[in-house]
Chain A
């Protein structure tokens, strides 16, 4: 159980929730959230948007019954959180280029923040694509060296990757597939996959993702994979 500090609507259907939590959390990891008994039956996997000791923040979109219930919670309410789960994005030494689309931008905030903490001299460029309205962009402007925004178009049309950059992306699979295809093979690319999950801990085999080296569990082996593992055809 965690106590909710705040749960605010940023734009219609997009919410930001902060809860009391202290523990080791990596960028790209997720928690299983629930604030209900048996309907819906399952918890909701929500990625970490931000973390500092005592405060864990999620950015989420209301898409169904579970996230609808989450969106109605108020500060002071309890929410059950299980985690952190998953491998998360790796730490790197070179420059970083992140590409996010839609609610896939959620885990990138903490990623960029940790990168800048660990690599104060490294360069971080951020590409963010949204369909209609953007959210959370200002936070990147204070952290990243460059923010490239696209609303209503195709963010990957603007994407130019520098030779020394590692690319990390999260968003619709089409976006990640496009990133995987267009970034030169010399650059490392990490993609954060999404799947329907039941357990979140690797037991149900519901979130299996086909990879070059056989089936992998998005929840436990991922959600972050190397480009060549997932987009190999």
Chain B
């Protein structure tokens, strides 16, 4: 197999830079019916919290033009059940598994991270940007100071490298990224969903019980691309970019903007094979352009 897509993200080798995003890929099992997960650069688990969460009530999904709003509310089995039921399966898949961790306060983040010290993962994605939980991580993620503080505390106790997932809903995103880098993060991922709102005029009520929800999908791509570019111009740690990536051309644009890896989320729902098609498209592009590695065009913009 060609090595033209092999990518180093810090000290982690990815066979290609394409990773299904947290919350769109469960713990991988559902997609095994469609393709061999070892073809992926990596995969990112559903966001985990210390305690199990049942998630939000009411409508959780709402389509918008070329977009999708969601208000799942971090439904997950909790760290202990994950380690017991999902990790034994995930750890044997030969791809980079990224564990996404959220929290409601400092204590719950730190306890979750401590528990994950017992497994041998390669990378933790610290979710400080979920817009759908009232007391949730986004409270940390929208201010550079608090983002830096929680990152620092997590980095201190985690045996795993920490990549911080940023919110597009707060302070200038490059300031937040810079604070996370200064706090010891080994990578940045962005963007989480954009906070939006939907109203059902027929029912004369808000669609979501939480009033606001997260928007993702092709509709948000230009914003995600701009933020990726800004952050890549600012920090020296690698960036894993996402936000509306649906084709290999989109992925390439994010890499040209400086992203080291890319994640694909909402598109998994549109086309379960989307990540594989992006990998194949990027491979063809490298061959056609005579690139020995995709890194040759990284950050050219």
Q: A and B, one complex? A: yes
B55, B68, B218: the one contacting A198 at CB < 8 Å is B68
- Closest-by-CB residue of A relative to B28 is A203
Task: Check A41/B59 contact, CB under 8 A, given A202-B26, A203-B25, A208-B75.
Answer: no
Contacts of B30 in A (CB 8 A): 199, 201-203, 220
Q: Tell yes or no: A186 within 8 A of B by CB.
A: no
Contacts of A220 in B (CB 8 A): 30
Q: Tell yes or no: B67 within 8 A of A by CB.
A: yes
1/0 contact string of B16-54 vs chain A (CB within 8 Å): 000000011110001101000000000000100000001
CB distance from B149 to the nearest CB of A (A): 30
What is the interface size of chain A, counting residues whose CB is below 8 A from a CB of the partner? 23
1/0 contact string of A198-231 vs chain B (CB within 8 Å): 1101111111101000110000100000000000
CB distance from A181 to the nearest CB of B (A): 22
1/0 contact string of A129-142 vs chain B (CB within 8 Å): 00000000000000
The secondary-structure label for the interface of chain B is loop
- Closest-by-CB residue of B relative to A196 is B61
CB distance from B191 to the nearest CB of A (A): 18
Contacts of B59 in A (CB 8 A): 196
1/0 contact string of B213-233 vs chain A (CB within 8 Å): 000011000000000000000
Q: Tell yes or no: B189 within 8 A of A by CB.
A: no
CB <8 Å contact, B269 and A42? yes
Contacts of B33 in A (CB 8 A): 201
Q: Tell yes or no: B173 within 8 A of A by CB.
A: no
Q: How far is the CA of A38 from the CA of B62 in the complex (A)?
A: 15
Q: How far is the CA of A205 from the CA of B268 in the complex (A)?
A: 13
CB <8 Å contact, A215 and B270? no
CB distance from B196 to the nearest CB of A (A): 14
B55, B75, B269: the one contacting A41 at CB < 8 Å is B269
- Closest-by-CB residue of B relative to A37 is B270
- Closest-by-CB residue of A relative to B266 is A41
CB <8 Å contact, B60 and A208? yes
Q: Tell yes or no: B300 within 8 A of A by CB.
A: no
18 A–B contacts, CB within 8 A, in A order: A38-B66, A38-B217, A38-B218, A41-B63, A42-B63, A43-B270, A196-B59, A196-B62, A198-B61, A199-B272, A201-B30, A202-B30, A203-B30, A204-B269, A205-B46, A205-B72, A206-B61, A208-B60
Closest 8 CB pairs of A and B: A206-B61, A203-B26, A198-B269, A203-B30, A196-B61, A201-B30, A199-B269, A206-B60
Q: Can you name 11 extra interface pairs (CB under 8 A) apart from A38-B217, A41-B270, A42-B68?
A: A41-B269, A42-B269, A42-B270, A196-B61, A197-B61, A199-B268, A201-B31, A203-B269, A205-B23, A206-B72, A215-B55
A residues touching B (Cβ–Cβ < 8 Å)? 38-43, 82, 196-199, 201-208, 210, 214-215, 220
